[in-house]
Structure 1
Amino acid sequence: MTFPPNEIERPRKERKENADKRRRQVLDATYRSIVSNGLVKTTLATVAQQAGLSQGVAVFYFKSKNGLLTEALRDLYEQYQSHWSAAIATADPDPVVQLVALIRADFDPAICNREILSVWFAFWGEQAFVPQYGEITREYDDNRSRAIQKMCQDLLPGDPDRAANIADWIDTLTDGYWQNLYLFPANYSNASALESSLKCLAALLPEFAEKLGRL
């Protein structure tokens, strides 16, 4: 017996959509569990409770706590990378404009808020004990570092050493402000961190300060 293509493809599509929805529910619940319980005390049971699903659903999609947490970190990086990549993709191709777009993206409350920062720092604190976390972090951090290096090289084609140093400083600067926002929320805000970062960028690139001041 044969069936028209639309009658066999539709159920498969629906199954995939349902599977993607369930995976998304479990991953989002994982982040909420980490915020509420910390990384060490997050379990398949706490995640299932947060998701309003049976623990068997989490086991079905992620097999184990380690599998779930590893995938959650990769998903967190994917969301972050998609965010900053979209910011520079929609910005003017001028590397000065792209640098500003990337820095602004870093302090967008949608991607940088206390709950998300607590998840980031929970994972980063465990990197020395879970090699998979370090591997994922290096992979995605390298992507971002290369993007910043490319912008700086385009700005300073005749001075590659200076371009490399500035790229490293920018990368470190925004990471540092994320830490301050997480540890000292009473003293820092997204707006103040962004303003200070852009001032630092103007100091690092004085020849582009006038243009930076207009962005």
Structure 2
Amino acid sequence: MAAVETGKSADKPAEAPPRKLPRDARRMQLIEATIETIGRFGYSRTTLSEVARTAGLSHGLVNFHFETKDKLLVETLLYLAEEYRLNWTQAVDAAGPSAPEQLYAMLAADFRPKMCTPDRLSAWCAFWGEAQGRPLYQEKCGSNDAEYNRTLEALCARMNAEHGYAADPVRAARVLRVTTEGVWLDMMTLQSPYPAEEALATLMTCAAAFFPRHFTAEGLLRA
């Protein structure tokens, strides 16, 4: 068997946004600006004024679309949660039918370039870590987390049933999940963070500890 799969630039003047956009497009622009603002200033220091400045829009326009900071943060969290859910579910759906292919796709999805950006990692860490963010996260994202955990546990159980492993599927899934979250946090807190490719290799090393005939640090093994 051989391994065959692996897993902001400097500041520059922002382009002026279009003066008129459809309502949904404008809201999306403001949510993306909120993600960037949280990445730069943190959860508690994010303000409507700073979001407006980041987006290149007026404070009044932010108020028009979201009314309050709390509403803007809720909508931003909901957007991130749905983006994350679609990212891993679509990756699993697009993978081959086997448990190793689907498990690899699910784990590697967290390190796709669109998902694994400094701003998005910072925003996720902010929602996880802020005292006022945890109740909000649990209320809005608990069902998504449950779906993720069930799917990951089911894939680990399939690895046992179909390939003769004996790992406890609940514990194996938990270790894989907390390793993913851990390397995300590591990438945010180290002075010289390692790249997404190294983060994925770390996670694959963990997967290989449970399922050594199908994974190595380099990724998924194929016959």
TM interval, shorter chain, is: 0.7 to 0.9
What corresponds to 1:144 in structure 2?
148
Sort the Cα spacing of 1:129 and 1:200 in 2 relative to 1 into closer, same or farther, 3 A.
closer
Tell me the TM-score normalized by structure 2: 0.79
Greater share of helix residues, 1 or 2? 1
Unaligned runs of 5+ in 1: 1-16
Q: CA offsets, 1:172-210, max 9 Å, x none?
A: 111111111111252522111211221221220235459
Sort the Cα spacing of 1:198 and 1:137 in 2 relative to 1 into closer, same or farther, 3 A.
same
Determine if the alignment matches structure 1 residue 58 to structure 2 residue 62: yes
Q: Higher relative CO (CA 8 A, sep ≥ 6), structure 1 or 2?
A: 2
* Bigger Cα displacement from structure 2, 62-71 vs 127-136: 127-136
Alignment of 1:1-215 (within 5 A): 18-128=22-132, 131-157=135-161, 162-184=168-190, 186=192, 188-209=194-215, 212-214=220-222
Deviation of residue 34 (structure 1)? 1.4
Deviation of residue 139 (structure 1)? 2.7
Deviation of residue 76 (structure 1)? 1.0
Sort the Cα spacing of 1:108 and 1:35 in 2 relative to 1 into closer, same or farther, 3 A.
same
* Bigger Cα displacement from structure 2, 75-84 vs 148-157: 148-157
Sort the Cα spacing of 1:94 and 1:127 in 2 relative to 1 into closer, same or farther, 3 A.
farther
Deviation of residue 148 (structure 1)? 0.7
Tell me the TM-score normalized by structure 1: 0.82
Question: What percentage of aligned pairs have identical amino acids?
Answer: 34
Name the SS of the counterpart of 1:156 in structure 2.
helix
Unaligned runs of 5+ in 2: 1-20
* Bigger Cα displacement from structure 2, 95-104 vs 140-149: 140-149
**Paired letter, 1:96:** P
Q: Choose 1 or 2 for highest CA Rg.
A: 1
Contact 1:126–1:133, Cα closer than 8 Å, also in 2: no
Q: CA offsets, 1:121-172, max 9 Å, x none?
A: 1121214566223322423222211221121122224989711211111111
Query: What is the number of equivalent residue pairs in this alignment?
Result: 199
- Note the aligned Cα RMSD (angstroms): 2.5
Contact 1:38–1:122, Cα closer than 8 Å, also in 2: yes
2:136 and 2:202 map into 1 onto residues whose CA distance is 34
2:48 and 2:215 map into 1 onto residues whose CA distance is 51
Sort the Cα spacing of 1:128 and 1:38 in 2 relative to 1 into closer, same or farther, 3 A.
closer
Contact 1:127–1:133, Cα closer than 8 Å, also in 2: no
Deviation of residue 30 (structure 1)? 0.8
2:32 and 2:148 map into 1 onto residues whose CA distance is 24
Sort the Cα spacing of 1:148 and 1:180 in 2 relative to 1 into closer, same or farther, 3 A.
same
